[in-house]
Amino acid sequence: MEFERDLIAVLLVVESVNDKNKLLYKYEEIRTYKRIQEPVTFYTPYSIVIAKDFDPPSVKDDDASRRTFLNFDETTLSILTSPYSYGNHVEAQVDDVIFVGHTLGLENNKNLKSFAIFFALRAIAKASVILSYQEMSKRIGTAIRCEEQRASYLNQEYAKLISVIQQHDIEANDRLVNRIPNEDNEKEREEKDQTKQKIYSTMVEQSVLAATLKQIYIDLQVSGEINITINNWLNVSCCLPHRSVPINCPLDTDQVFHVLTNAEQYLKPYYGLLLVIDPSALLASLPTDSSSTLNTLVRHLRSSYSLSRLSIETSIPLSQIYRLTAHLVYWGRAKIIYPIHDDNIYIISPDADISKQGSLSRLYKETFQNTSNYPTLQEALAEYSDAITFYDHISRNDNETDLRERLQCVEWLLRHRLLIQVHYYYYLLLPNDDRSDFKDEYKQTRLPRSRAPLVRILSEITPLRE
């Protein structure tokens, strides 16, 4: 399982009526880093001091941005996330860490002026990834603001979090009075870090909003999707579309994001749709207020159906079929294929993982443990070593059960991108056509350009003088 590498932390910042911007809560993955001791050097008037605060973002070191984020205290984070205006995307970068969010103002509120959900990311994150997090921050913040207007949800959670901070401040002052002078700075720094982690852990136990933000971070790290309920009332579902992109995709992340967000305009009636998860699991994961048309589409979906035939079978307009298909592809629940027919030709993908110890081999055994035709993944792929039609793979002795297993096997291999389809393209060329305009067009587009003669004309050659 691949985790989200760009996400560092999630933050909740608020701007109260009587105070400036304040970091109220943050959650990050707890990791322990060894502090690197700086080598002892002797100062000379000719030495050059290198400013380490302006190191370029590291591409190879995934933990460099996390170590940089640990050096930011709460005051610095509050300044970096201060809103310049309300209702706009906010983006601030310091070294190899970038903060993205969407600040929302609160009107006619006695305690708070604005708030925002911020995500700390690696600075080398793609522009499409940053935009996805900003839109996610906007949707989460909008739901929280609606609950604040309906039931004062944010004010209640704000009071809980502030009380936790005040309680720990009192305990910290008591320890400061009883602290032994000349205590080790390293030990004091570790105690402060442990105290902060204790504060945030207490916030999660006492505040529903803090627990929700923690769950958002975990879900984004694991699956790249969130499906949360704000104040047990409003459902918020978001996803990072770049997480649904296959690892062997030749396109750049930004290009794939553009295709996924505009997938509806790329669809054709002769395309097919293949679910990448079990249909029953997909129906179970849909919210209660989901579209009934989507449920109808999933129940009638077949890998041998084109989108136009799906429209006929379900009595759903083709334009709506396009919208539902684009939605499933955007969320990584389905992929676009050509409908499976007898004339299709499938071969092994050049990027296929065919190792016996791989995760796909184990998953194949679990999925097809009761089949007798192809007990292992390697035997199933060996059937498609030659570029022959799907009909030629079918034996005359195959019954309906064998045909169904063979179709399910092809669907599974296509779903995990182990097979690719071979296409033949035929071009009709008419070089002897009598139409002069066609001849000119054919000469300009199809015929190779005439090469310059290698030998000059005799009149152009200067005679040699004796």
Q: What H or E segment, with its residue span, contains residue 16?
A: strand 7-16
Instruction: Work out the average pLDDT over 159-166.
Output: 92
* Res. 44: pLDDT tops 60: no
Query: Are 108 and 82 found together in one domain?
Result: yes
Domain boundary (385, 406, 422) is at 422
pLDDT for the residue 54: 41
Contact yes or no for 191/47 (Cβ under 8 A): no
pLDDT for the residue 195: 79
Q: Is 321 domain-assigned?
A: yes
Chain centre to alpha carbon of residue 26: 22
Domain count for the chain:
3
176 pLDDT band, cuts 50/70/90, is: low
* Res. 45: pLDDT tops 80: no
The H-assigned helical ranges of 85-126 are none
What are the pLDDT digits (tens) for 54-74?
A: 444 554 556 788 888 988 988
Comparing 372 with 283, the larger pLDDT belongs to 283
Query: Are 326 and 368 found together in one domain?
Result: no
CA distances from 193 to 74, 79, 306 (A): 12, 20, 58
**24-62 b/e (C-beta count within 10 Å ≥ 16 → b):** bbbbbeeeeeeeeeeeeeeeeeeeeeeeeeeeebbeeee
- Report residue 65 as tokens: 């941005």
User: What secondary structure does DSSP assign to 133-198, as a single string?
Assistant: HHHHHHHHHHHHHHHHHHH-HHHHHHHHHHHHHHHHHHHHHHHHHTPPTT--HHHHHHHHHHHHHH
Query: Are 329 and 209 found together in one domain?
Result: no
Q: How far apart are CA 86 and CA 297, in angstroms?
A: 40
User: What secondary structure does DSSP assign to 60-113, as a single string?
Assistant: S-TTHHHHHHHT--HHHHHHHT--SSSSSEEEEEETTEEEEEEEEE-TT-SSEE
Query: Are 98 and 187 found together in one domain?
Result: yes
Could you count the other beta carbons within 10 Å of the beta carbon of residue 318? 13
CA-only gyration radius of the chain, Å: 31
Q: Is 387 domain-assigned?
A: yes
pLDDT for the residue 432: 66
Domain boundary (242, 276, 298) is at 242
Q: How far apart are CA 92 and CA 21, in angstroms?
A: 15
Contact yes or no for 11/26 (Cβ under 8 A): yes
**Quick check: helix, strand or coil at residue 44?**
coil
Domain boundary (299, 317, 337) is at 337
Query: Are 385 and 352 found together in one domain?
Result: yes
Contact yes or no for 376/416 (Cβ under 8 A): no
Query: Are 316 and 357 found together in one domain?
Result: no
43 pLDDT band, cuts 50/70/90, is: very low
Contact yes or no for 116/134 (Cβ under 8 A): no
Partner residues linked to 104 by β-bridges: 115
Partner residues linked to 98 by β-bridges: 93, 121
- Report residue 179 as tokens: 């602290």
Q: What letter does residue 157 receive in the DSSP assignment?
A: H
Q: Is 225 domain-assigned?
A: yes
Query: Are 206 and 351 found together in one domain?
Result: no
Q: Is 213 domain-assigned?
A: yes
Contact yes or no for 335/409 (Cβ under 8 A): no
Query: Are 221 and 168 found together in one domain?
Result: yes
Q: How far apart are CA 243 and CA 224, in angstroms?
A: 6
Q: Of 10-14, 194-198, 341-345, 456-460, where does mean pLDDT reach its minimum?
A: 456-460
Record the pTM.
0.80
- Report residue 186 as tokens: 């390293």
The closest alpha carbon to 98, from 32, 197, 11, belongs to: 11
* Res. 462: pLDDT tops 50: no
* Res. 75: pLDDT tops 60: yes
Contact yes or no for 242/253 (Cβ under 8 A): yes
Q: Which residues contact 354 (CB under 8 A, 6 or more apart)?
A: 348, 377, 378, 381, 418
The closest alpha carbon to 411, from 373, 365, 380, 375, belongs to: 380
- Report residue 127 as tokens: 């522009």
* Res. 82: pLDDT tops 80: yes
Q: Which residue has the tokens 């505040």?
A: 207
Query: Are 96 and 12 found together in one domain?
Result: yes
Q: Which residues contact 239 (CB under 8 A, 6 or more apart)?
A: 224, 225, 226, 330, 331, 332
pLDDT for the residue 230: 95
What are the pLDDT digits (tens) for 367-389?
A: 988 777 788 999 999 989 888 99
Q: Of 1-15, 76-90, 146-160, 306-320, where does mean pLDDT reach its minimum?
A: 1-15
* Res. 346: pLDDT tops 50: yes
Q: Is 74 domain-assigned?
A: yes
Q: What letter does residue 306 receive in the DSSP assignment?
A: B
Query: Are 312 and 355 found together in one domain?
Result: no
- Domain span at residue 274 reads 262-337
Q: Which residue has the tokens 């084109």?
A: 306
The closest alpha carbon to 69, from 137, 129, 122, 115, belongs to: 122
Q: Is 444 domain-assigned?
A: no
Instruction: Work out the average pLDDT over 153-164.
Output: 94
Contact yes or no for 303/294 (Cβ under 8 A): no
What are the pLDDT digits (tens) for 97-155?
A: 999 999 999 988 889 999 999 999 999 999 999 999 999 999 999 999 999 999 999 99
Q: How far apart are CA 290 and CA 282, in angstroms?
A: 12
Q: CA angle, 103 as apex, 100 and 109 as ends, to 5°?
A: 155
Query: Are 186 and 74 found together in one domain?
Result: yes
**Quick check: helix, strand or coil at residue 93?**
strand
Q: Is 251 domain-assigned?
A: no
Instruction: Work out the average pLDDT over 4-13.
Output: 90
The closest alpha carbon to 22, from 67, 69, 74, belongs to: 74
pLDDT for the residue 250: 64
Query: Are 301 and 363 found together in one domain?
Result: no
- Report residue 232 as tokens: 């047990």
pLDDT above 90 covers what percent of the chain?
50
Q: How far apart are CA 133 and CA 4, in angstroms?
A: 12
pLDDT for the residue 151: 94
Q: Which residue has the tokens 């056509």?
A: 433
Q: Is 434 domain-assigned?
A: no
